[in-house]
A and B are shown apart, each in its own frame.
Chain A
Amino acid sequence: MQDIAVQAQASTQITYGLVEVRDLTVRFGDRQKTTILDKINFTVEPGSFVCLLGPSGCGKSTVLNSIAGFVNPTDGAILVDKQAVTKPGADRGFVFQQYSLLPWKTTFQNVEFGLRIKGIPKAKRRELVGEYLNRVGLYNRRDSYPHQLSGGMKQRASIVRALINSPSVLLMDEPFSALDAQTRHMMQELLMEIWHEFKTTVIFVTHDIEEAVFLGDRILVMGVNPGHIKEDIVIDLQRPRHIDDTLTPEFIQISRRVLATIREETLRSMESS
């Protein structure tokens, strides 16, 4: 964990994107009886890519929603660049699992929305949105409405909609889980390229082991009842990674290790449900 921080600082001059989760506890329900998360602690270094992996019901989305400010922790604190999170904000970009483009806005207007809120002048907005749409190959679909776009296109637009605000951290909640396998691989590679370019900190929630190993610098494997961090695994596979790297012995070896950890938790979650 330390050497990743050193690496990140040595290779680039990233000054923002530090996420600290301290004793995060979330309880829901009648008199807060149900404990969803119990004293979660982890730190995400600026510019790194961390995957939160775990069986369903382990509270990984709740961790992400807490960082986003959608969920108010019962106890503990979240700091983004040393600032305590109290409510949602543009400094934490979010890519949702469901398709979340506003149906009444074109691709262009959806991506532009954040800049309009910030009060950026029209000419500047046009230029920036054009640039970002071009980057993900959506420039010629800028006037299409979401219902005219494929699933992959919608998620590409969602990613640049979040990135155009230059957030400290990009939070992604199983963003590719609704896509078919081919599109999912393409999106994973595209995300890697974009991440290399922008150097934004990414926290990526998934239940797909291969996806987590392929994307992450680190995988935080979560356990159930209540949600906790079970293991913190560093993925030291070389970058840039390509989708055929998923077939190499190193990749498979790491995946096996992750699988062993997560299987235990999946069994536990099935027994308790």
Chain B
Amino acid sequence: MTSPASKLNSDLSQDSSSLFGRIFRLNKLGRRILSLVIFFGVWQFLCAIKFQFLINFGFLPTPVEVVQATWDFFTSDPWVHLRSSIIRVLLGYAIAAVLGIILGIVIGTWQKADDLLSPPLELLRPIPAVAWIPLAILMFPTAEAGMIFITFVGGFFPVLISTIKGVESTLNDTVLIRVGQCLGAKSWHIFQDIVIPGALPSIASGLVIGMGNAWFCLVTAEILAGRYGVGYITWESYVTSNYPPIVMGMLLIGLMGALSSWVVSRLTAALMPWRTIKKQGA
């Protein structure tokens, strides 16, 4: 470990008197909290001085106003909104995960399936969630189903693409496949014991990204909502020019998205005890 980065790191941490030295000596949690404090501090400061150069902070709600809006939200029956949003995202995501993994394995394994399925999927993939809104209204009997569909669209493609790539690269790992063959493995064993575990790290990252994307599409989805949902509040507040709840809604979606992505990444890591990930300076 003599890379320039780690060297710099250790030089700084030895110098405990400087501010940078102290920051580097903080533990992992400390550093993460510090990054949030700086983020909100800079935001409040820019609002306070009505910063205006390329970006205008003058009309932006300050963190304090957002905290006030958040307080109001949580003291007046927040659960009905949270529950509606969580159910929509989780249902859309669950369908996306199952379908993405199954289709990904099929497309990654068989050339004919690839030829038959990939062109329409590739055509649909770049379409943003918001463009689906009119069709979602036309295609589904209820707004609820339409909203689940839009979160599904967000989650599906990352899972699909990562699964295809994972399966393809494992199948192209000559040594791994030969190991199975010279132990007498039939297709099923190669699939179950080599291809699936070999593709798992890639599938797992698709699942984590897909989870974030499903939340990403929530505001879009809940444009269709009549009354409830965190995304609905965000959209509705914009329509009624009530700005602090918009930022609250954004942060709430960010928070729930980050939290659920973290849960997915923990769950998938538990499926792969053979993997240990170590970063520089960890």
- Complex: A68 Cα to B181 Cα, angstroms: 9
Beyond A117-B189, A147-B274, whether A102 also contacts B184 by CB under 8 A is: no
Proximity string of chain A (150-180) to chain B, C-beta cutoff 8 Å, 1 when within and 0 when not:
0000000000011001000000000000000
Beyond A104-B197, A104-B272, A145-B273, whether A90 also contacts B184 by CB under 8 A is: yes
Residue of B182, B185, B186, B198 near A162 (CB, 8 A) is B182
Chain A positions within 8 Å of B200 at CB level: 104
Please tell me the size bucket of the interface on A: 20 to 34
- Structural contact, A90 and B182, CB atoms closer than 8 A: yes
Q: Which of A83-120 contact B (CB under 8 A)?
A: 87-90, 92-94, 96, 98, 100, 102-105, 113-114, 116-118
A42 part of interface (Cβ distance < 8 Å): no
Chain A positions within 8 Å of B198 at CB level: 104
B117 part of interface (Cβ distance < 8 Å): no
B102 part of interface (Cβ distance < 8 Å): no
- Structural contact, A68 and B184, CB atoms closer than 8 A: no
B276 part of interface (Cβ distance < 8 Å): yes
- Complex: A100 Cα to B180 Cα, angstroms: 10
Q: Which of A14-38 contact B (CB under 8 A)?
A: none
- Structural contact, B178 and A94, CB atoms closer than 8 A: yes
Chain B positions within 8 Å of A114 at CB level: 183-184
Q: Which of A158-204 contact B (CB under 8 A)?
A: 161-162, 165
- Structural contact, B274 and A103, CB atoms closer than 8 A: yes
- Structural contact, A89 and B175, CB atoms closer than 8 A: no
Proximity string of chain B (266-282) to chain A, C-beta cutoff 8 Å, 1 when within and 0 when not:
00000011101000000
A113: nearest chain-B partner, CB-CB: B183
Q: Which of A29-78 contact B (CB under 8 A)?
A: 68-70
Proximity string of chain A (215-228) to chain B, C-beta cutoff 8 Å, 1 when within and 0 when not:
00000000000000
Residue of A103, A104, A117 near B183 (CB, 8 A) is A117
Give, as a whole number of angstroms, the nearest-CB distance from A173 to chain B: 10
Give, as a whole number of angstroms, the nearest-CB distance from B173 to chain A: 10
Chain B positions within 8 Å of A70 at CB level: 178, 181-182
Please tell me the size bucket of the interface on B: 20 to 34
Chain A positions within 8 Å of B193 at CB level: 102, 105, 113
Proximity string of chain B (135-153) to chain A, C-beta cutoff 8 Å, 1 when within and 0 when not:
0000000000000000000
Beyond A102-B194, A117-B189, whether A147 also contacts B276 by CB under 8 A is: yes
Chain A positions within 8 Å of B181 at CB level: 69-70, 87-89
- Structural contact, A102 and B179, CB atoms closer than 8 A: yes
B273: nearest chain-A partner, CB-CB: A145
B176 part of interface (Cβ distance < 8 Å): yes
- Complex: A105 Cα to B273 Cα, angstroms: 10
Give, as a whole number of angstroms, the nearest-CB distance from B233 to chain A: 44
- Structural contact, B184 and A165, CB atoms closer than 8 A: yes
Proximity string of chain B (162-206) to chain A, C-beta cutoff 8 Å, 1 when within and 0 when not:
000000000000011011011111100100011001101000000
Residue of B175, B189, B273, B276 near A98 (CB, 8 A) is B175
Residue of A88, A89, A118 with most chain B CB atoms under a 10 A cut-off = A88
A97: nearest chain-B partner, CB-CB: B175
Give, as a whole number of angstroms, the nearest-CB distance from A226 to chain B: 23
Beyond A100-B175, A102-B176, A145-B273, whether A94 also contacts B182 by CB under 8 A is: yes
Chain A positions within 8 Å of B197 at CB level: 102, 104
Chain A positions within 8 Å of B272 at CB level: 104
Residue of B182, B184, B194, B200 with most chain A CB atoms under a 10 A cut-off = B182
Give, as a whole number of angstroms, the nearest-CB distance from B199 to chain A: 11
- Complex: A69 Cα to B184 Cα, angstroms: 11
- Complex: A96 Cα to B175 Cα, angstroms: 8
Beyond A96-B175, A102-B197, whether A89 also contacts B274 by CB under 8 A is: no
- Complex: A117 Cα to B178 Cα, angstroms: 15
Chain B positions within 8 Å of A113 at CB level: 183, 185, 193
Residue of B176, B184, B194, B276 near A89 (CB, 8 A) is B184
Beyond A70-B178, A96-B178, A96-B179, whether A104 also contacts B274 by CB under 8 A is: yes
Given contacts A94-B182, A161-B183, 11 further A-B pairs with CB under 8 A are: A88-B181, A88-B182, A89-B182, A90-B183, A93-B182, A96-B179, A102-B197, A113-B185, A113-B193, A114-B183, A116-B189
- Jot down 22 A-B pairs with beta carbons below 8 A, ordered by A: A68-B182, A88-B178, A88-B182, A90-B182, A94-B182, A96-B178, A100-B175, A100-B179, A102-B176, A102-B194, A102-B197, A103-B274, A104-B272, A104-B274, A113-B183, A113-B185, A114-B183, A117-B184, A117-B185, A117-B189, A118-B184, A165-B183
Q: Which residues of B contact A (CB under 8 A)?
A: 175-176, 178-179, 181-186, 189, 193-194, 197-198, 200, 272-274, 276
The 5 A-B residue pairs with the shortest CB-CB distance, nearest first, are A90-B184, A88-B181, A104-B197, A114-B183, A94-B182
Q: Which residues of A contact B (CB under 8 A)?
A: 68-70, 87-90, 92-94, 96, 98, 100, 102-105, 113-114, 116-118, 145-147, 161-162, 165
